[in-house]
Amino acid sequence: MVLQPDRPDWWRDAAIYQVYPRSFADGNGDGTGDLAGIRARLPYLAELGFDAVWFNPWYPSPLKDGGYDVADYRSIDPVFGTLEEAEKLIAEALDLGIRTVVDIVPNHVSSEHPWFRAALAAPVGSPERELFHFAEGRGENGELPPNNWKSEFGGCPWTRIADGQWYLHLFATEQPDLNWAHPLVRQEHEEILRFWFDRGAAGVRIDSAGLLTKEPGLPSFELGVDTHPFVDRDDLHDIYRSWRAIADSYEQPRVLIGEIWVPDTERFARYLRPDELHTAFNFDFLARPWAAAELRASIDGTLAAHAPVGAPATWVLCNHDVTRTVTRYGRADTRFQFSAKAFGTPTDRALGVRRARAAALLSLALPGSLYMYQGEELGLPEVEDLPLSTLQDPMHFRSGGTDPGRDGCRVPIPWSGDAAPYGFAPEGVEPWLPQPEDWAALTVAAQTGDPDSMLELYREALRIRRERIGGEFGWLPADPEVLSFRRADGFGCLVNLGAEPVALPGGAAPLLASGPLAEDGTLPADTAVWFEILDTRL
Applying CB under 6 A, which residues contact ligand GLC?
65-66, 68, 105, 171, 207-208, 259, 320-321
**For the chain, what is the radius of gyration of the CA atoms?**
23
Q: How far is the CB of 168 from ligand GLC (least distance, A)?
A: 14
Nearer to ligand GLC, 25 or 206 (CB): 206
Q: Which of 65, 174, 177, 207 is catalytic?
A: 207
Among this protein's residues, is 163 annotated catalytic?
A: no
Four-residue CA torsion sign, 508, 511, 517, 520: positive
Nearest to 65, CA basis, from 394, 299, 448 = 394
CB 320 within 8 A of CB 21: no
Residues 102, 202: contact at Cβ < 8 Å?
Answer: no
Distance CA 334, CA 208 (A): 27
Q: Which of 5, 79, 28, 21 is nearest to 54 (CA)?
A: 21
Task: State which residue, 302 or 319, has the beta carbon closest to ligand GLC.
Answer: 319
User: Is there a catalytic annotation at residue 520?
Assistant: no
Burial tier of 341 (Cβ tally within 10 Å: 0-12, 13-18, 19+) = buried
Burial annotation 359-397 (CB, 10 A radius, 16+ → b, else e):
bbbbbbbbbbbbbbbbbbbbbbbbbbebeeeebbbbbbb
Closest approach of Cβ 170 to ligand GLC, in Å? 8
Residue 340 CB, shortest distance to ligand GLC, in Å, is 15
Pick the closer one to ligand GLC by CB: 171 or 329. 171
Contacts with 366 (C-beta within 8 Å, 6 or more apart), sequence order: 299, 313, 315, 473
State the residue number with the nearest CB to ligand GLC.
68
Nearer to ligand GLC, 320 or 465 (CB): 320
Q: Smallest gap, in angstroms, from Cβ of residue 65 to ligand GLC?
A: 5
- To ligand GLC, the closest distance from the beta carbon of 66 in angstroms equals 6
Closest to ligand GLC by CB, 10 vs 283, is 283
Q: How far is the CB of 281 from ligand GLC (least distance, A)?
A: 9
Helices marked H in 249-348: 265-270, 283-286, 292-306, 325-328
Beta strands in 295-377 (DSSP E): 314-316, 369-373
Please, which residue, 259 or 376, has the CB nearer to ligand GLC?
A: 259
Spot the catalytic one: 34, 177, 259, 377: 259
Q: Distance (Å, rounded) from C-alpha 77 to C-alpha 60?
A: 4
Q: Which residues are catalytic?
A: 207, 259
